[in-house]
Amino acid sequence: METRSNYVMVGAVTVALLVGTLLFIVWLAGLSGKSTKCYDIYFPAVGGIAKGSNVSFSGVPVGQVSKISLLPNRPEFVWVRIEVDQQTPVLQGTTAEIHSISLAGANEIQLNGAERGHPPITQVGPQGCPVVPASASGLSALLNSAPELLARIQRLTERLTELLSDKNQNAIADILENIDATTAVLRERAPEMADAIADVRIAARNAGIAANNIAALSANTNRLVTDQGRPAVENLNKAIVSARQAADNLNAMISDARPGVQNFSKSTLPEANRLVRDLRDLSQSLEQVSDRINRQGIGGALGPQKLPDYKPGKRQ
C-alpha cells in the first residue's frame, strides 16, 4: 500500500508540474501576444551584440535582437534583425547605433532620430524587412578606429625614434652651430646691410621718378601724335589723292594723244630723217666751199683753175 501511495504522489506531482508548465507557457504566450515589427540593420562591425540583446528607442526598451549573422555575398557587413513593438515610431530619419550599457562589454541597439510628421520606414529590404540606417556612436567609432589609431601612434613613435637618433642629433647640433655662425656674421654685417638697404631705397625712389618721367614722355608723345601726326596724315592722304588724279589725267592725255603720236611716228619722222640727211649734205658742201675760198680765194668758189695752154718750142 505504501509503495502504491508513493507512486500516486509522484504521479500527482508530475501532473502538477506539467500543468504548471503549460500554464507558464500560456502566460508567456499571453505576454508575447503583442504584435511586433521586424527591421534589418547592416553594421560594419558589432561588438557586445548577440541574439536576444536589448533594443531601445531613446532609452526605452522596445524589442530585442532576433537574428545576427554576416550579410550574404557581402561579408564586410553584419546583418542584424530586430523585433520591436508595433507602436514603436520608426520613422524616416531614424537611425540605429550600438550603445554601450556597461563596462563589461554588454551593448544594446538604440534607435534615435524620429521626428514628428515624417512617414514610417516601410520600404522592404533584400532580406524581407524594412531597413533602418546604421550610424556609429561616438564610443563605437572610437573603439572601431582604435586599432588604426594605435598603428598610427606606433608609426609616429618609430619616426620620432629615427629622428632623435645619435646621427640626427649630431646633424641637428651642426645645423644649430651653423645658425649661430650665420647670426654672428649677420650681426657683424648689420651696418653694411643697413647701408645697402638705404641704397636700395634710393634706387627705388629714383626708379619711381624715372617711371613718372617715362609716363610724362609717353603722354607727350601721344599728344604729339594726336595733335600733329593726324594733320600730317590727312595732308598725305590729300597728296595721294591729288597724285592719283594727276596720274589719271596723264593717262587720259596719253590716250588722247596716242593717234597723233602714231601718225607722227609713221609719216613725219621719215620726212624729218630725210631733211636731216639733206641738211647734213648741204653742210658738208658749204664746208667744202668755205675751204676752197680759204685756200684759193673767191676764185676757188667759181670752179677749178684753168690749166695754161702749152705751146711746144724748138729744141736748142
The DSSP result for 183-212, as a single string, is HHHHHHTHHHHHHHHHHHHHHHHHHHHHHH
Name the pTM for this structure: 0.38
Q: Is 60 exceeded by the pLDDT of residue 215?
A: yes
Q: Which amino acid is at 22?
A: L
Query: Which residue's C-alpha cell is 644649430?
Result: 176
In a domain, 62, yes or no: yes
**Domain housing 126:** 33-141
Q: Is 70 exceeded by the pLDDT of residue 310?
A: no
In a domain, 120, yes or no: yes
Distance CA 115, CA 89 (A): 9
In a domain, 186, yes or no: no
pLDDT, tens digit, 9 for 90 and up, residues 131-161? 998 886 555 555 556 667 778 888 888 888 8
In a domain, 284, yes or no: no
Q: What is the average per-residue pLDDT within 238-250?
A: 76
**Picking from 63-67, 94-98, 164-168, 288-292, which range would have the lowest pLDDT averaged per residue?**
288-292
In a domain, 67, yes or no: yes
Which residues are 61's β-sheet partners? 56
Q: Which one, of 188, 147, 53, 180, lies nearest residue 107 by Cα?
A: 53
SS3 87: coil
In the prediction, which pLDDT does 53 show?
87
Q: For the purposes of burial, counting CB atoms within 10 Å of the CB of 83, is it exposed (0-12), middle (13-18) or buried (19 or more)?
A: middle
What's the domain count of the chain?
Answer: 1
In a domain, 238, yes or no: no
- Phi first, then psi: what are they for 305, rounded to 5°? -65, 145
Are β-strands 74-85 and 36-43 bridged in parallel, bridged antiparallel, or unpaired? antiparallel
In the prediction, which pLDDT does 73 show?
82
In a domain, 204, yes or no: no
In a domain, 45, yes or no: yes
Query: Which residue's C-alpha cell is 597728296?
Result: 239
> For the chain, what percent of residues have pLDDT higher than 70?
70
Which of the four pLDDT bands, split at 50, 70 and 90, describes residue 261? low
Q: Do the beta carbons of residue 289 and residue 297 sit within 8 Å? A: no
What are the cell numbers at 133?
A: 540606417
Distance CA 41, CA 78 (A): 8
Q: Which amino acid is at 160?
A: L
Q: Do the beta carbons of residue 96 and residue 109 sit within 8 Å? A: yes
